[in-house]
Amino acid sequence: MSADIEAFERRLAQLEAELERGGKPLFTGSEAPLVARAPGRLDVMGGIGDYSGSLTLELPLAEAAFVSVQRTAARHVRVVSAGFGQDPPPLRDVALPLDELRRALASYAEARAYLSADPTRAWVAYVAGALAALHIEDGFDIGGGLDVVVCSSVPEGKGVSSSAAVEVASYAALSALAGLARDPVRMALACQRIENLVVGAPCGVMDQMTSSCGREGQLLPILCQPAQLQSGFAIPPGLAVWGVDSNIRHQVSGADYGQVRVAAFMGYTLIAHALGMPIRPAASAGRVQIDDPEYGGYLANVGVERFERELVGRLPERLSGAEFSSEHAGIIDPITHVVPGVTYRVRAATAHPIHEHARAGEFRALMSSGRIDSGVCQRLGALMFEAHDSYGACGLGSTGTDRLVALARELGPAHGLFGAKITGGGSGGTVAVLGASDAQPAVYELARRYARETGHPARVFSGSSCGAAAFGSARLQRAADGWRVARSTGEPSEGASA
């Protein structure tokens, strides 16, 4: 991680020089700024099954977001954001008047309305949302002004959770400033609420959990019911995982992802109805409460055998929101709505988390078996290809990610590549590739072939790093040629190492 920190320090020096040329300082307070760090993630198995209770297997990436905070005497909270590494986004600099911001922190709804009112500064919600969460849930009063500097090497719109990295790093840095203890699971759940209630994206919890609780070089198993960390495990010797970017922009707030999520919850209502479970309207329109002692409200618990034997035939392949709502009071999902004019792929979206939960469980068992031979490698790859095809059936594929997976199939075991799948919310973004540990040349060849065919550069993600809880927080210290990160205060905790 030292190279990562050194790159951040160089970017701070460049950013300070850039701002000073425009007559602006980087930091304006007198205290040494605090800094926290949180990585992006590569979704190896599980993906969109998280909101239905699936097991997911996530790898924290080497790329990460650094967030520095400092108290100031100003009457505003200033947020400066600048990427570093490959293709960084442009410099962004926004000041939020303190009086306005304080009023907006009264509730998540008010914070969302305030931060989304001006589209040019909507990105600030990922940072200022942490202030809302800390105020609403912990009573943190920001008091005076703040300087917040965000430097992230996690590329945006690539399906590797750039938003969660910024949310978690912001929450960790502001928690340290407030002197609040940082339980890693609680931090992840708070950051999921930021994404859901302030940013307005209906994501599950796996992104924030990985960014908060991840361990370098380990796959992090999360049973998303709602967020149960299980024992992490290293990728076995002889195997490696890479990410390859399709260069087709991924947005978790996109309509495709939201529709698939709604369709899965529609399917759960239909299954509950078919099994005679008590269903009652909830306080909010379009919401229901379901008494489900058997599955606990999670589709993933239904089980493949029973689903295929008894239930799949009771689900329509497609169903409009209007048709569903004419017979059913709603869904249990608290953050999405059934839209009458949309036709949903109910059967595929319902089947996906049930099968994906089983696939992820088998993948973990094989990875942890201590026996990695050609048969095991081929089965691991087959599970990834099945997951990818299931995304497509739900409507979350893309021409770019499909081509990357096809190229992985073509190169195949002869070149040390065993499997590949689209990741995260789908509809573009990054593909995870499993191969032999010495197959990196084949991965780069895959990326080159894709770039030649499509004209889209294909970035390769390689390597891993620790999550925010293990990093903790550090002070920035002034040096002759810029800023230096002092040793972090992170201490492995039970939640972080689970």
Active-site residue set? 207
β-strand partners of 460: 244
| Cα–chain center distance at 60 | 10
Reduced to 3 states (helix: H, G, I; strand: E, B; else coil), residue 95 is strand
Handedness of CA 289, 294, 297, 299 (dihedral sign): negative
Tokens of 281: 């309207």
The string of DSSP codes covering 202-251 is ---SHHHHHHHH--TTEEEEEETTTTEE---EEPPTTEEEEEEE-SS---
H helix or E strand, kind and range, residue 297: none
- DSSP per residue over 155-198, as a string? -TTSSS-HHHHHHHHHHHHHHHHHT----HHHHHHHHHHIIIII
The alpha-helical segments, DSSP class H, found in 37-124 are 98-104, 108-116
Identity of the residue numbered 136: I
Other CB atoms within 10 A of residue 334 CB: 11
Q: What 3-state class would DSSP assign to 343?
A: strand
Q: Are 320 and 344 in contact (CB under 8 A)?
A: yes
Helices marked H in 368-483:
374-394, 399-411, 440-454, 468-471
The residue whose two tokens read 């600030």 is 124
Measured CA to CA, the distance from residue 220 to residue 210 in angstroms comes to 7
- Report residue 111 as tokens: 């914070």
Written as one string, the DSSP assignment of 403-433 is: HHHHHHHHHTGGGTEEEEEE-TT-SSSEEEE
Q: What is the rounded end-to-end Cα distance, in angstroms, of the chain?
A: 21
CA 484, 61, 225: angle at the middle one, nearest 5?
120
Beta pairing partners, 288: 281
| E strand spans, 20-129 | 34-45, 55-72, 76-83, 92-97
Structure tokens belonging to residue 211: 């960014």
Burial class (CB in 10 A: 0-12, 13-18, 19+), 497: middle
Residues 356, 393 contacting (CB under 8 angstroms): no
